[in-house]
Amino acid sequence: MKLPTDFYKIYAFAYRSWLLNMRNVFAVFEMLFWPGVAIFSVGLLTRFLQLDPETVSFILIGAVTMNTVQITQLDISYSLLYDVWSKSLKHPFIAPVHMSHLLLGASAVGFIRGLLIFAVMGFLSMWLFGMDLSRPGLLGLVFFMAGLFFNAVIIGMLVLTLVLRFGHRAEVAAWAFSYLILLLCGMYYPVSILPPGARQAAQLIPLTYFLDHFRHFYGFPLLSPHPLMYGFSQCAVYLVASYALLNRTLKGALKRGALLKLSE
Amino acid sequence: MPAAIEAQGLCKSFRTGFFKPGKTVLHDVDLEVPGGAVFGVLGPNGAGKTTLLSILTTLLLPDGGNASVLGLDVVNDAHRIRERINLAASSAHFLWYLSVEECLRFYGRLYGLGGRDLEARISELMETFDILPYRKEKFENLSTGLKQRLALAKTLINDPELLFLDEPTTGLDPVMAQHIREEVARLNRETGLTILITTHNLREAEMLCSEVSFLKEGRLLAHGRITDLQARFGLGDHVSLVFKDSPAALDYGRLPGVLNHRVEDSRVHLVVDRAEVRLAGIMAALSQSPQEVREVKLKEVDLEELYREITH
């Protein structure tokens, strides 16, 4: 990519996304209210069940993961959904931009928001429910965060693909898709308890391996021998595949006139 | 000047359902738009104007035929075309939470602009389109006229060589519509910018366009300079001569420039190719006759007449 023109294009999407988050009361709600509700409800449930500290950490990690991935991927999904809702979808595409500009810009803001959620929920988990976030060490945290971020980008790209393919009908995917993924990869439970078909499906989701790796610092056995290698390898494959799929879907949208229909 | 747009045999159809046949929106359309012109694509609603414009602006892929914009292929060189063109749609829609200047800044950055150059461009455009006082106003709070002015300002943010305007005055009050037309004419006059405008407003086309194409049901029915099309379809200015008694005994059809004539009591209706050129000769011929002309009425041919002739 040639700088600085590419930089300005990425910055355009990032700054727009940032303004949206600053001005939209629901975006603020997403960042504070739901993560707060999640930590309190799950944390209090673990207290009521009188679980041991390791199991409490296991469950709280699931809650932190769910909200971090969801918030990060929403920023990517919103990068097109807001254009659809404002009927301005064709304008970004009449400019000389690639999907990569949009994704990088939106992901940058998604990453910041995800990091913030992770920090807030991590702090609440430590402060209120005694979870020890220092156990995985800095490197463990960095790998886990990177894993969450890559998973969110993949989910975001799949949501964008659905929006370009099915338009308004796919809006619900922005919220539902990540929950489905998290359900499979062992949000509040080990994947070993999943029914056989779902267990195999979980092995195809990189988040399963990042959760496996992170929870292992809290005394839970590794379910796969090299979780980080599996996780990052799968992420690399899925990132390339979902980007290719997104571009292919955009081409299909240009053929079907979907950009025009979604701008009406 | 070389052609800014060339299209041959453009076809487009859309699927209407899984088991239903596609609906053909464009049939074999050829088009040539000279550089520096204001070119009008005219037609009723559903004629295929927006589809044609969408293909030329790379927002829609054609099913068949080929088209080049500024010498670049609309399918294979779409990215390079986008750097050099811009579009204002019939109704201005932008993100509601962005202010006027944020909106222009966002689109400017999408063209790789930034820093002081972009800020200067934004200020200049806001001044040109008289939206500077509303720079901090959110898009959702703007009136329709202001939204359309912002849309036009946005189209010039990248200093395009070719501008596409899709029914730019739809929904505007007459004063604002006239202001926008004057702005479009000024842009073309002062910068030589090529402009392709789609409209079903014939007055607008008449005022702005040097050449027009007529589309109906996806087919190009006629294409050329308005005056050439008038001549081709035998349409011209109307000259009505009202005599005091009976009309002068002349062979009106043989008078120079007369395309058609009709005698009705004491009146003679002439259709001439160009009234301002022919009227002196007609009056000179009448002066040889003893019959006194009481009144001469002139009505210039309008595009509506041409439109009716072509599309019906």
Inspect the interface and report whether the beta carbons of B50 and A260 lie closer than 8 Å.
yes
Residue in B14, B105, B113 nearest the CB of A257: B14
Asked if the model's pLDDT at residue A151 lies above 70, the reply is: yes
Residue in B59, B82, B94 nearest the CB of A96: B82
pLDDT score recorded for residue B162: 95
Locate B304 and state its tokens. 């509506």
pLDDT category, A177, cuts 50, 70, 90? confident
Residue A149 · residue A115 · CB < 8 Å: no
Q: Which helix (H) or strand (E) holds B23?
A: strand B23-34
Asked if the model's pLDDT at residue A243 lies above 70, the reply is: yes
Apex CA B77: angle with CA B167 and CA A158, to 5°?
85
How many whole angstroms separate alpha carbon B108 and alpha carbon B158? 7
Give the burial string for B185-224 (b: 16+ CB within 10 Å, else e): eebbeeeebbbbbbbbbbebbbbbbebbbbbbebebbbbe
Cβ of A221 under 8 Å from any chain B Cβ? no
Asked if the model's pLDDT at residue A2 lies above 60, the reply is: no
Inspect the interface and report whether the beta carbons of B14 and A16 lie closer than 8 Å.
no
Inspect the interface and report whether the beta carbons of B106 and A16 lie closer than 8 Å.
yes
Measured between beta carbons, the chain B residues lying within 8 angstroms of A256 are 14-15
Cβ of B23 under 8 Å from any chain A Cβ? no
pLDDT score recorded for residue B266: 86
How many whole angstroms separate alpha carbon B119 and alpha carbon B78? 27
Which has the higher per-residue pLDDT, B283 or B236?
B283
- Which residue in A16, A21, A97 has the most chain B C-beta atoms within 10 A of its own C-beta, making it the best mutation to test that interface? A16
pLDDT tens digit sequence for B217-271: 888 888 888 777 777 776 778 888 898 888 888 888 888 888 888 888 888 888 8
Which of A22-26, A198-202, B5-9 has the lowest average pLDDT?
A: A22-26
Apex CA B53: angle with CA A162 and CA B219, to 5°?
110
Nearest chain B alpha carbon to A16: B106
The burial of B74, by beta-carbon neighbours within 10 Å (0-12 exposed, 13-18 middle, 19 or more buried), is given as buried
Backbone Cα Rg of chain B: 24
Cβ of A256 under 8 Å from any chain B Cβ? yes
Asked if the model's pLDDT at residue A56 lies above 70, the reply is: yes
**Torsion angle in degrees (nearest 10) through CA of A48, A54, A56, A61:** -170
How many whole angstroms separate alpha carbon A157 and alpha carbon A153? 6
pLDDT tens digit sequence for A64-82: 999 999 999 999 999 999 9
Handedness of CA A195, A198, A200, A206 (dihedral sign): negative
Highest mean pLDDT among B45-54, B103-112, B239-248: B103-112
Residue A22 DSSP SS3: helix
Q: Which residues contact A49 (CB under 8 A, 6 or more apart)?
A: none
pLDDT, average across residues B191-208: 86
Residue A67 · residue A38 · CB < 8 Å: yes
Q: Which residues contact A242 (CB under 8 A, 6 or more apart)?
A: A154, A157, A158, A161
Asked if the model's pLDDT at residue B30 lies above 90, the reply is: yes
Inspect the interface and report whether the beta carbons of B14 and A259 lie closer than 8 Å.
no
Residue in B80, B95, B110 nearest the CB of A95: B110
How many whole angstroms separate alpha carbon A256 and alpha carbon B15? 8
Locate B162 and state its tokens. 């070719």
Give the minimum alpha-carbon distance from B111 to chain A in angstroms, rounded to a whole number: 6
pLDDT, average across residues A100-109: 96
Apex CA B262: angle with CA B256 and CA B264, to 5°?
135
Give the minimum alpha-carbon distance from B82 to chain A in angstroms, rounded to a whole number: 5
pLDDT, average across residues A139-143: 95
Asked if the model's pLDDT at residue B308 lies above 80, the reply is: no
Locate A209 and state its tokens. 């391996």
How many whole angstroms separate alpha carbon A178 and alpha carbon A28? 19
The values of phi and psi at residue B266, to 5°, are -95, 10
Cβ of B28 under 8 Å from any chain A Cβ? no
Cβ of B39 under 8 Å from any chain A Cβ? no
pLDDT score recorded for residue A141: 95
Apex CA A36: angle with CA A31 and CA A37, to 5°?
115
Residue appearing with tokens 């420039």: B257
pLDDT score recorded for residue B312: 65
pLDDT score recorded for residue A264: 78
pLDDT score recorded for residue A184: 92
pLDDT score recorded for residue A3: 62
How many whole angstroms separate alpha carbon B70 and alpha carbon B150? 25
Residue appearing with tokens 């596409």: B164
Locate A177 and state its tokens. 């898709």
Give the minimum alpha-carbon distance from A255 to chain B in angstroms, rounded to a whole number: 5
Whole-angstrom CA distances from A12 to A16, A103, A147, A169 are: 6, 11, 26, 27
Cβ of A100 under 8 Å from any chain B Cβ? no
Residue in A19, A256, A260 nearest the CB of B97: A19
Handedness of CA A176, A181, A183, A186 (dihedral sign): negative
Inspect the interface and report whether the beta carbons of A23 and B59 lie closer than 8 Å.
no
How many whole angstroms separate alpha carbon A1 and alpha carbon B310? 51
Residue appearing with tokens 């005694």: A130
Give the minimum alpha-carbon distance from A151 to chain B in angstroms, rounded to a whole number: 27
Which has the higher per-residue pLDDT, A34 or A211?
A211
- Best CA proximity match to A150, nearest among A125, A180, A127, A181: A181
Inspect the interface and report whether the beta carbons of B114 and A92 lie closer than 8 Å.
no
pLDDT tens digit sequence for B262-274: 888 888 888 887 7
Asked if the model's pLDDT at residue A226 lies above 90, the reply is: yes
pLDDT score recorded for residue B85: 96
- Best CA proximity match to B149, nearest among B210, B100, B76, B212: B100
Asked if the model's pLDDT at residue B71 lies above 80, the reply is: yes
Please identify among residues 253-282 of chain B the ones whose CB lies closer than 8 Å to any CB of chain A: none
How many whole angstroms separate alpha carbon B199 and alpha carbon B205? 7
Inspect the interface and report whether the beta carbons of B110 and A20 lie closer than 8 Å.
no
Which of A199-213, B82-96, B164-178 has the lowest average pLDDT?
A: B164-178
Nearest chain A alpha carbon to B58: A94
pLDDT category, A136, cuts 50, 70, 90? very high
pLDDT score recorded for residue A1: 52
How many beta carbons lie within 10 A of that of residue A99, not counting itself? Answer: 18
How many whole angstroms separate alpha carbon A74 and alpha carbon A114? 10
Locate B85 and state its tokens. 């063109």
